[in-house]
Amino acid sequence: MAEGAELVGESAHQDMPRVVAALAGILERVAGRNDAAATPAELAAAPASPFRATAKPGISVRAYAARIARFAGCSPACYVVAYIYLDRLLRRGRRCLALALAVDSYSVHRLLITAVLSAVKFMDDICYNNAYFAKVGGISLAEMNYLEVDFLFGVGFDLNVTPETFADYCAVLQSEMLCAAALPPRLHYCCLSEDDAGSSSSSSLREAAMEAS
């Protein structure tokens, strides 16, 4: 997958691959926007989800992504595929209220570790097991197993990624990388989809990055 070649090198500002820094930047903006938009009443009424923590984790999205990149040992392509899976999850959530989930500070960390776990199992020939990923993500093995199953049902077990889709998402991440190098961090309208962009807080990550470029 030559389209992702520019994403393999390390970020100039973080000790992690550029693809990881780009994905973390998108997720951080999405979570920040949704945090700012949510009222206390909306937070209290948020639907129960295994991805939703009871308290905000004490580690930033970028630091968490850097930890995953350091210890997970997966190929850079896995992060592109993880991004695609997250987009699919949110797109299906827009169509089914039972699956709806906002990407915010309460959910973004668990979504990220589960998306990477799902991607590495699909993409890489050799990978660490769920117990190892649970330690990397700071959760129990039982939680990791449950999150993986819930995530797979959430994406409808749609794990295949065409070369065209992979190239499209590589382009979005490359745009995010260029914006991060040229401009200071900004809060954008953030959403995650392989199709149209919705107006809800859980729509398309891909649109979020495209609006930032």
pTM score: 0.78
What was the pLDDT predicted at 128?
A: 92
Q: CB under 8 Å to 34, separation ≥6 — which residues?
A: 102, 103, 104, 190, 201, 202
Residue 156 located in a structural domain = yes
Domain with 92 in it? 16-177
Residue 113 located in a structural domain = yes
CATH, residue 61: 1.10.472.10
What was the pLDDT predicted at 134?
A: 96
What was the pLDDT predicted at 79?
A: 96
- Total number of domains constituting the chain: 1
* Residues of the chain predicted below pLDDT 70: 1-15, 42-47, 94-100, 180-213
